[in-house]
Amino acid sequence: MAVHLAIGQAYAFSTFNLPLTKLIGLKASAPGDWDLKQMGWVFSIAIAILGISAAVFGRWVEAAGPRKSMFTAALCFGGGFIVAAIGIHLHQLWILYLGYGVLGGCGLGIGYISPVSTLIKWFPDRPGMATGMAIMGFGGGALIAAPLSVILMAHFKTASSNGVLETFVTMGVIYFMFMMIGVYAIRVPAADWKPAGWTAPAQPRQLVTTANVAVDMAWRTPQFWLLWVVLCMNVTAGIGVLSQASPMIQEIFDGRVSAAAAAGFVGLISLFNMLGRFLWASASDLIGRRNTYMVFFLLGILLYSTVPTLGHLGSIPLFVAAFCVILSMYGGGFATIPAYLRDMFGTYQVGAIHGRLLTAWSAAGVLGPVLVNYIRQYQIDSGVPKEQAYSVTMYIMCGLLLIGFLCNFAMRAVDEKYFHRGSSQA
């Protein structure tokens, strides 16, 4: 959880966007300052590298164990801040991209998957709750990082600096040390470990395997790709809203929601994104992973199709409540997927399989915001009033969720021909 709380900072990177465009001009952007478009790429590169590094280094993470991989993640993430700070000092954009985007992105990817298989082995009775709690940290990281960044920048601000450089160095050191708590505390259980008083059910539940599938075999199964689409559709629907939450609520309730109140809305849905990770993943231990995703997709379709009506009715509390539930299911989707993978492919190399599945996140990270932004712009260009420009987007999100529902509905147990026959100790 310490690792995920640290790397969850990525969701709050936007707090640096404006200050980074005023490094020369300080109060306003001056000639030679970076622009917002260039700053938007820092987060995009980091998220893309997250998915790629989780896929590429997944097998190494399984082989090296959680302590080594978490230490590597701490070095990359903390070091990424320091290299990015050098880029800020020299005012070289490529060094900023290399530092936070590439090096920091590797820290995000390796750190994200590092604790997963260890937690699943510690809690064979409650794998959803265990991974949900860790992944909840990723959602909660932004809640800490956003106010912390603002406080640090205000603290380091001088007549000749807006404090971003010093804040990057400080955060690099703080996050490295914070992640070292996880490195220090993590332990791998003995091969025959099980919780006191717990015995594995003699009759495994439907869609819960007792066999194992290796990572190289897993991604040749239809189940892997069905789960890829399930995650991609669930994330696309949520991430598009997250990226546009502030302007969306201000435009739908034109004149009734201020910029400060919209920032409060973003914070509130981020909070539900975090809580959903723990609550839905824990619920999946009781009702099953497939059923949990069925709820995500069906309830998601119901809520997304209701949102335009709530906007027309002018009901801010109902609108906010609908998006709180939607974002809780977005977080829940992330947190439930490791346990779903464990159910389908066993505990052997589940971390590496999870790493490869996270490429769905990278794809959704591009697809979601692009869909919301472009469709909104197309609607406005076609003469639709701004407050109604999101209605079509919401119905398209329903369509995406329907695709996810059908893939989840088609899920069956993995064929025996894919099972791993050797030792299952990774």
Partner 1 sequence: MKGKLIVLWGAVSLPLLWGVMKTLQNAMKLFE
**Which residues contribute to the site for partner 1 (CB under 8 A)?**
1-2, 5, 137, 140, 143-148, 178, 181, 185, 257-258, 260-265, 267-268, 270-271, 316-317, 320
Nearest distance in Å: CB 181, partner 1: 5
Of 1 and 26, nearer to partner 1 (C-beta) is 1
Residue 330 near residue 242 (C-beta atoms within 8 A) = yes
DSSP conformation class of 206: T
Q: Spell out the residues 6+ positions from residue 291 whose beta carbon is closer than 8 angstroms to its own.
A: 284
Of 208 and 320, nearer to partner 1 (C-beta) is 320
Nearest distance in Å: CB 317, partner 1: 8
Of 219 and 323, nearer to partner 1 (C-beta) is 323
Residue 294 near residue 408 (C-beta atoms within 8 A) = yes
**417/399 Cα distance (integer angstroms):** 34
Six token digits for residue 126: 């409650």
Of 174 and 396, nearer to partner 1 (C-beta) is 174
Nearest distance in Å: CB 137, partner 1: 7
How many other C-beta atoms are found inside a 10 Å radius of the C-beta of residue 137?
22
Question: How buried is residue 306: exposed, middle or buried, by Cβ count under 10 Å (0-12/13-18/19+)?
Answer: middle
Of 70 and 357, nearer to partner 1 (C-beta) is 70
Nearest distance in Å: CB 16, partner 1: 17
Nearest distance in Å: CB 260, partner 1: 5
Of 116 and 218, nearer to partner 1 (C-beta) is 116
Residue 42 near residue 100 (C-beta atoms within 8 A) = yes
Of 247 and 264, nearer to partner 1 (C-beta) is 264
DSSP conformation class of 248: H
**182/177 Cα distance (integer angstroms):** 9
Residue 345 near residue 208 (C-beta atoms within 8 A) = no
Nearest distance in Å: CB 268, partner 1: 4
Nearest distance in Å: CB 378, partner 1: 29
User: What SS3 class is residue 348?
Assistant: coil
Of 293 and 334, nearer to partner 1 (C-beta) is 334
**168/206 Cα distance (integer angstroms):** 49
DSSP conformation class of 221: S
Of 133 and 233, nearer to partner 1 (C-beta) is 133
What does the buried/exposed string (b/e) look like for 371-405 if buried means 16 or more CB atoms within 10 Å of the residue's CB?
A: bbeebbeebeeeeeeebebbbbbbebbbebbeebb
Residue 21 near residue 39 (C-beta atoms within 8 A) = yes
Six token digits for residue 90: 């020299």
Question: How buried is residue 150: exposed, middle or buried, by Cβ count under 10 Å (0-12/13-18/19+)?
Answer: middle
Of 268 and 366, nearer to partner 1 (C-beta) is 268
Nearest distance in Å: CB 147, partner 1: 4
Nearest distance in Å: CB 150, partner 1: 9
Nearest distance in Å: CB 66, partner 1: 15
Nearest distance in Å: CB 5, partner 1: 6
Of 132 and 137, nearer to partner 1 (C-beta) is 137
Helices (H), 157-287: 164-185, 215-218, 222-252, 259-287
Question: What are the CA-CA distances from residue 85 to residues 31, 43, 74, 105, 270 (Å)?
Answer: 21, 15, 17, 15, 27
